[in-house]
Amino acid sequence: MNTVISIIVGILLLGVIIVFHEFGHFLMCKMYNVAVPQFFVGFGPKLCSFKKGETLFSIRLLPFGGACQMASIENDDVDPERTINNKKPLVKLCIYVAGPIFNFIMAFLVSLIVIGFVGYDSPSVTGVIENSPAYEAGLRPGDVITRYNDMDVHLGRELAVELRYNPIDGSPVEIAYERDGEEFSTVFTPTYNRVYRLGFQYMLDDSFATVINLDEDGAFYKAGVRKNDIITEINGEKIGTGNDLKGYFDRNPVDKNPISVTAERNGSEFSFNVLPIAIEDYDAGLYFNSNYRTEIDGLSVIGYSFYELRYNIVGTFKSIVMLFTGKLSSDEVGGPVRIVEALGETIEATEDEGTFIVVMNILNWIILLSANLGVMNLLPIPGLDGGKIVLALVEMVRRKRIPPEKEGIITLAGMILLVIVAVIVFFKDIVGLFT
């Protein structure tokens, strides 16, 4: 699949997710008799359009965004009783929240397909360093983690996100786990010692072990490895996928010894001698699965699809918090252009592995983006659904409608802010394509 087709697929996926979101608003408008003059996908000049009933449906030039335009008091040709302004706050609330809810419904339905076909990432222990705190506490490879401190754990990625958001320190860690059908719990305190790091991140899936991020002060970068390099061999062991690479490190934890790495870059192979960098940090000596999938069937598919949805929702919220607290760099945040680029790279990286793997990766992207769009629209920012929800709640508390002109000013200010942010993100994405 060439780059152009990959980009087209990415744009179509974003369009489908946006249409599903706006359809939630549209359905509630019809239910509560609110007129909808326009329903469009994209922004800018119309590419094509048709009218059904009172609504003009259209597709526009710029394929990012869309809207279900609800009638307001400014629409002189609409019965005032059918405008959003004259509806009760509870009705407004139902209409505004419908878009994000439909995104969550979409993410759940797609999760049913993915979990049903390839299963879930069991939070099982893959490695325990001898004499480490986790080892002394009784944890062994094969144990399945069910609780981490106060958090129930169902997916390995849930625990991975939690540890990124709240890295271990000198505080005691309580873990509940399952072994041979029996439940156990233990407590241990991570020790402060010397650990070795390579300073890179890679695709943790069944596609190529592609380097997706590098610490410029890290061992990989200093050795000459660069972003988008594909790791094909490490210390003489062939690496076919990101899962293979993770499996290697699970069996061979990084220590002070040099590592021989072979990587592919633009069709050519390069060899690197990487010297791990020592870091003084807290360590538990515990490794767990956050990617390999375990197949399941029956009603368990429904339960784990809910966990998948929850993981993506909670992960998005935590990413937002990390961004504002400085734990996540703004360089790691991208807009539609970067999303389409990353999706295209995923498709191209997995097309040699067969149509099934490509489809599963695309579906995983739909889950992520749909949940992400739902969460982002719930943020209490004027111009977004979350901002409108806040205004509806204010009306409910005041038992009095907010004057339309004031609501318009608030919404306009929010829209201007959103446009400025969108332009900045778009510019960063475009610059990123050429750097």
Amino acid found at 352: D
How far, in Å, CA of 417 to CA of 401, rounded? 25
3-state secondary structure of 20: helix
Which structure tokens are listed for 356?
Answer: 């099934």
Tell which residue, 190, 189, 123, has the closest CA to residue 161.
123
pLDDT score at 87: 92
Cα–Cα distance, 387 to 393 (Å, whole number): 10
Average pLDDT over residues 270-280: 92
Alpha-carbon gap, residue 210 to 264, rounded angstroms: 9
Asked whether the predicted pLDDT for residue 330 surpasses 80, the reply is: no
More confident residue, 6 or 293: 293
Q: Which residue has the higher pLDDT, 72 or 185?
A: 185
**pTM score:** 0.81
- Percent of the chain residues past pLDDT 90, beyond the cut: 47
Q: Is the dihedral of CA 161, 165, 169, 174 positive or negative?
A: negative
Q: In angstroms, how far is the first alpha carbon of the chain from the final one?
A: 24
CATH class, 199-275 region: mainly beta
Residue in the block written with tokens 């749909």:
370
CA max distance for the chain: 77
The C-alpha angle with vertex 199 and arms to 262 and 193, in degrees rounded to 5, equals: 120
Amino acid 40 reads F
Task: Choose between 104 and 318: higher pLDDT.
Answer: 104
DSSP label at residue 265: E
Instruction: Quote the tokens at residue 65.
Output: 């965004």
Beta strands in 328-367 (DSSP E): none
Q: Which residue has the higher pLDDT, 6 or 120?
A: 120
Q: Which two tokens stand for residue 284?
A: 């538990």
Phi-psi region of 119 (alpha: psi -120 to 50; beta: other; left: phi over 0): left
Cβ contacts of 365 within 8 Å, gap of 6 or more = 13, 343, 346
Distance CA 418, CA 63 (A): 17
Nearest to 201 by CA among 239, 242, 149: 242
- What mean pLDDT value characterizes the chain? 86
CA 149 to chain centre: 24
Q: What's the rounded mean pLDDT across residues 144-148? A: 97
